[in-house]
Amino acid sequence: MLKYGIVGAGIGSFISDVHIRGIDATKKAKLVAGCFSRNPEKNEESGKARGLAADRIYPDALSMAVGESAREDGIDFVVITTPNVFHYEMAKAFLNAGINVSSDKPVTIDAAQAIELQKLAAEKGLKFCVTFTYAGYPILQHAREIIRRGDLGDIIMVMGEYAQDWLAGNTGIAPWRTDPTFTGRMNSISDIGSHVMFTVNFLTGLEVSKVCSVLDNEGYQTDVNSSILLKYDNDATGMYWASQVAHGNDNGIRIRIYGTKGSIEWRNEDAERFQLTLESKPPMIISKGRNYEATLPFGSTGRLPAGHHEGLYYSFANIYGPFIDDIKGEGGAYYPNIDDGVRIMHWLDKCYDSNQKQAWVEL
């Protein structure tokens, strides 16, 4: 069993706990070290709550990278779950210490930083995972197979949205999310729009050729409502929408992909099924565990039988399993990596440029 550390994961943290539970579900790695908070008392309290030895609770990420790299029983990888602006320096420190990295998305605050990490990981021969959640959903892995083998024909149009309402009405929840000191210059488009961008590419393999973006602040310091028109490398068109101020929406990511022979529609709030419509046939509902002419065995990614919901924790397990195997030299299965992180940051930079110029921008 491998050993890992985490940066973030203070008591009450949402996404850090998802990472930890996902890794626990793989039964392939154990949490042994961490830096949980900039507040010393909360840091110590959080580490003890996780069952860590006092000498493995570090005051900051840099001392953790140095300390763990010097130990014979040091960590095999680190999980970074801090606000966006800290990802780059922390990942760089651990890579330079010879430690594999998993980072929450977005991997950095701009493409230049992401490219530097990509090069450093390659130079050091280290693995770098970026946790784009939806790559771990078995039903989307199945949809990907259907799309990429050509069942929908040539892709001609993509509609993607991610709608939330937790910032509608200035709720005071997670104020750092709209503070550029912590998020960088983008918010909604990088926090949730990046999921749409990644998931469409994961499903279709299409690359974006140009974008036209409008990023609305709605009174905040950074964007909370983003609209994007796209052209892809095969001349298909796309429309993305990412909003944190859309009243009545909890966590509404929805992807619709249209081809010359059919379409697929999926939404996160009914996450274990998608609608498949093929030319001259009625729409079909494909559920997890009831595959449509699949070559990928359901059991290779699904952990529960059909009709039993797996959810967010197991999606992270399906990402971390292949990542850990890759560290052990037993790799082969796909997991989102630094190449995906660079691609998404490049798209995000161009979306920001388009908004600034109020014009189409080529990638």
Render pLDDT for 15-40 as a digit per residue (tens, 0 to 9). Answer: 999 999 999 999 999 999 999 999 99
Q: Is the pLDDT of residue 264 over 70?
A: yes
* Mean pLDDT calculated for residue range 45-69: 97
Q: Does domain 2-126 have CATH number 3.40.50.720?
A: yes
From-to residues of CATH 3.40.50.720 in the chain: 2-126
CATH of domain 137-304+337-357: 3.30.360.10
**Strand, helix or coil for residue 162:** strand
User: Nearest-5° angle of CA 198, CA 204, CA 210?
Assistant: 65
pLDDT at 298: 53
pLDDT level of residue 178 (50, 70, 90 thresholds): confident
pLDDT level of residue 185 (50, 70, 90 thresholds): very high
* Mean pLDDT calculated for residue range 106-113: 97
Q: How much of the chain, in percent, has pLDDT values that exceed 70?
A: 95
pLDDT at 290: 73
* Mean pLDDT calculated for residue range 142-166: 97
From-to residues of CATH 3.30.360.10 in the chain: 137-304+337-357
CA distance 85 to 322: 27
H-type alpha helices, the chain: 15-26, 40-49, 61-69, 87-96, 111-124, 138-148, 180-183, 188-191, 193-204, 311-327, 338-357
| Phi, psi dihedral angles at 269 (to 5 degrees) | -80, 0
Half-sphere exposure in the Cβ direction for 104 (13 Å, CA): 23
pLDDT at 295: 65
pTM: 0.94
CA distance 240 to 54: 46
Q: How far is CA 261 from CA 157, 257, 276, 278, 286, in A?
A: 12, 11, 11, 6, 17
pLDDT at 12: 83
* Mean pLDDT calculated for residue range 261-283: 96
Q: Is the pLDDT of residue 297 over 60?
A: no
Q: Is the pLDDT of residue 304 over 70?
A: no
**Strand, helix or coil for residue 212:** strand
Strands 225-232 vs 208-216: parallel, antiparallel or unpaired: antiparallel
Q: Which residue is listed with tokens 């929450």?
A: 104
Q: Is the pLDDT of residue 176 over 80?
A: no
Q: Is the dihedral of CA 307, 313, 316, 317 positive or negative?
A: negative
- The crossing angle, in degrees rounded to 10, of helices 87-96 and 61-69 is 10
Give the bridge partners for 2, in sequence order. Answer: 29
* Mean pLDDT calculated for residue range 76-104: 98
| DSSP tag of 54 | G
Q: In the β-sheet with 225-232, what is the strand arrangement from edge to edge?
A: 284-287, 273-278, 262-267, 252-259, 155-163, 237-243, 225-232, 208-216, 361-362
pLDDT at 336: 98
- pLDDT, greater one: 303 or 103: 103
Region for residue 219 given its phi and psi (left: phi exceeds 0; alpha: psi -120 to 50; beta: otherwise):
left
CA distance 39 to 247: 34
Q: How far is CA 112 from CA 91, 208, 213, in A?
A: 14, 18, 21
pLDDT at 289: 76
**Average pLDDT across the chain, whole number:** 94
Q: Is the pLDDT of residue 313 over 80?
A: yes
pLDDT at 199: 98
